[in-house]
């Protein structure tokens, strides 16, 4: 029997278990058709790990046959390619929210093995934030987007592909309604939503406990992907930048799109407690009904107080039912975290792929070992809910995902932190370089709900980028990133000029590229 692992509607996980814990394995709101599609997809993925566009059944009703029959090798390649263009640089673009997250009476969806004796760490006390203790007046941030997400029910990615078979699909523009009003640079910043885990690590003497917080931080970056329905982030244009100054979190973040082919986004954040940086690009594998997004790149965290330099990879993300049915996202694979200068402490975190006979989804397990391989700490939990340290049934909650805003389904499934990322305060506007994403019109217009104008601007901005690229090519010049440089080991690192230039002389007094 092929049981379908459906995303479990996620309420705020209660770290303190209520005793009665239920796991909902099915959702009444999923149509039978959607169930069929997802099931088929699942079995296929589970049974046939080979990359393939071929469907497994002969009576598929979602129209995937014409694609398969008509696709010559050439158009097959272009479909794959254009989808990777479409999905390029997206770690996580469409998500789970299949369920539309019907609330159930039961608020706790913690899996069965997390039961009674979970102790609440003091850590998730919202009011305890770095830098707020000295009475600095912190800026109020918005708690709502200006406009709800557009209705995309009449847009079919499948129709777009089908109508363009045989054409150079990389030239086919995707409608702006498929985007969410955030771009990939902002999505990288979103991984810092739970940066207090790094602050916590920086204040922990024991190296194995530090690793617990760092590993949990690595997992927490995936939490927000769960609720993202059907939206992909905007692709930044080459040279686009993004800053995020969060005195309330004690961090400053910058990012820049440093390469277009392949698309590479580089970012850097610092705080008194840590330095965080990564450069990311993504390889996509299109399976017909699902798409795997395989990130390439390394995440780095330095805790200067201890001389720790952690490095880790990201796991694979898979969007199921990409062409039809209820889309949902899954992450699977292993994150291996090491301290580059010593092997006294290592960590492996596994995102478990849902199995069709097992209704548990989104589960994560990890071990922290010493140099002899002896397990010092065990971690477990769900990437969309929370992480625990210890052995069930008694374990400590290290982190739990924040509650979602009330109307998040209507607002792109954004968390409060995600909503704040594209906020443009008038005083901030004066300080930003003209390349900052917040000043990008198409994304702003989409955020404001003006879809038609957003579409027009998107085409305009993409055309301008093509024009700039042509000029560079004609003059055999290559693009030079402004705030990042390639280091010896080929990774992109900040050249530490952004914030200095911002305060003196200020971007208003500098020649900046004109991107739109």
Footprint on this chain of ligand NAG (rule: CB under 6 A)? 116-117, 121-122, 125, 127-128, 131, 134, 136, 151, 153-155, 207, 210-211, 247, 306-308, 339, 341-342, 344-345, 352, 358, 360, 363, 393-394, 480-483, 485, 495, 497, 501
Q: Give the residue among 400, 377, 396 at the shortest CA–CA distance from 117.
A: 396
Q: Compute the least distance from the CB of residue 333 to ligand NAG, in Å.
A: 14
Task: Decide: residue 37, CB within 10 A, 0-12 exposed, 13-18 middle, 19+ buried.
Answer: buried
With respect to ligand NAG, which residue has the nearer C-beta, 18 or 136? 136
Query: Do β-strands 232-234 and 316-320 pair in parallel, antiparallel, or remain unpaired?
Result: unpaired
Helix (H) or strand (E) holding 10: none
With respect to ligand NAG, which residue has the nearer C-beta, 73 or 154? 154
3-state secondary structure 86-143: HCCCCCCCCCCHHHCCCCCCCCCCCCCCCCCCCEECHHHCCCCCCCCCCCCCCCCCCC
Instruction: Give CA–CA dist 375/51, Å, rounded.
Output: 36
Instruction: Give CA–CA dist 199/214, Å, rounded.
Output: 10
| Both tokens assigned to 72 | 């010559």
Q: Compute the least distance from the CB of residue 15 to ligand NAG, in Å.
A: 12
Q: Compute the least distance from the CB of residue 308 to ligand NAG, in Å.
A: 4
With respect to ligand NAG, which residue has the nearer C-beta, 76 or 129? 129
Q: Are 320 and 41 in contact (CB under 8 A)?
A: yes
Q: Alpha carbon of 151 to those of 214, 325, 367, 451, 503: distances in Å?
A: 39, 16, 43, 10, 42
Q: Compute the least distance from the CB of residue 73 to ligand NAG, in Å.
A: 29
Query: Do β-strands 179-183 and 328-339 pair in parallel, antiparallel, or remain unpaired?
Result: unpaired
Q: Give the residue among 219, 216, 224 at the shortest CA–CA distance from 200.
A: 216
């Amino acid at each position: 029997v092929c049981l379908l692992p459906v995303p479990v509607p996620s309420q705020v996980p209660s770290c303190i278990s209520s005793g009665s814990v239920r796991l909902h394995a099915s959702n009444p709101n999923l149509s039978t058709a959607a169930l069929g599609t997802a099931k088929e997809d699942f079995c296929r993925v589970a049974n046939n790990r080979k990359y393939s566009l071929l469907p497994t059944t002969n009576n598929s009703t979602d129209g995937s046959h014409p694609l398969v029959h008509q696709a010559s090798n050439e158009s097959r390649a272009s479909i794959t390619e254009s989808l990777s263009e479409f999905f390029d640089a997206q770690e996580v673009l469409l998500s789970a929210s299949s369920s539309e997250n019907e609330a159930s009476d039961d608020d706790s969806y913690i899996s069965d093995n997390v039961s009674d004796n979970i102790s609440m760490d003091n850590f998730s006390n919202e009011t305890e934030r770095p830098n707020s203790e000295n009475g600095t007046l912190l800026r109020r941030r918005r708690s709502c987007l200006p406009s709800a997400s557009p209705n995309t029910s009449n847009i079919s990615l499948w129709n777009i592909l089908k109508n363009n078979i045989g054409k150079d699909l990389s030239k086919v523009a995707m409608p702006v309604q498929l985007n969410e009003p955030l771009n990939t640079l902002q999505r990288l910043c979103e991984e810092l939503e739970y940066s207090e885990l790094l602050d916590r690590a920086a204040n922990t003497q024991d190296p194995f406990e530090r690793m617990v917080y760092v590993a949990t931080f690595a997992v927490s970056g995936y939490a927000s992907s769960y609720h993202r329905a059907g939206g992909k982030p905007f692709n930044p244009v080459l040279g686009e930048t993004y800053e995020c100054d969060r005195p309330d979190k004690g961090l400053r973040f910058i990012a820049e799109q440093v390469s277009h082919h392949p698309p590479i986004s580089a970012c850097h954040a610092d705080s008194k407690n840590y330095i965080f940086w990564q450069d990311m690009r993504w390889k996509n594998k299109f399976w017909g009904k699902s798409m795997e997004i395989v990130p390439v790149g390394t995440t780095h965290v330095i805790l200067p107080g201890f001389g720790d330099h952690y490095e880790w990879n990201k796991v694979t993300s898979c969007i199921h039912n990409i062409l039809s049915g209820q889309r949902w996202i899954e992450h699977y694979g292993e994150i291996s975290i090491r301290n580059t200068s010593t092997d006294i402490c290592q960590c492996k975190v596994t995102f478990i792929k849902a199995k069709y006979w097992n209704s548990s989804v989104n589960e994560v397990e990890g071990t922290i070992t010493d140099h002899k391989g002896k397990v010092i700490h065990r971690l477990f939990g769900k990437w969309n809910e929370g992480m625990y340290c210890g052995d069930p049934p008694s374990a400590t909650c290290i982190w739990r995902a924040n509650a979602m805003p009330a109307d998040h389904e209507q607002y792109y499934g954004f968390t409060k932190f995600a909503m704040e990322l594209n906020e443009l305060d008038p005083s901030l506007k004066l300080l930003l370089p003209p390349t900052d994403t917040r000043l990008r019109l198409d994304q702003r217009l989409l955020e404001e709900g003006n879809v038609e104008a957003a579409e027009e601007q998107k085409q305009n901005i993409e055309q301008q980028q093509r024009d700039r690229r042509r000029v560079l090519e004609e003059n055999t010049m290559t693009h030079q990133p402004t705030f990042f440089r390639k280091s010896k080991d080929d990774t992109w690192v900040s050249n530490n000029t952004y914030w200095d230039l911002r305060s003196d002389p200020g971007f208003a007094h500098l020649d900046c590229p004109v991107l739109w």
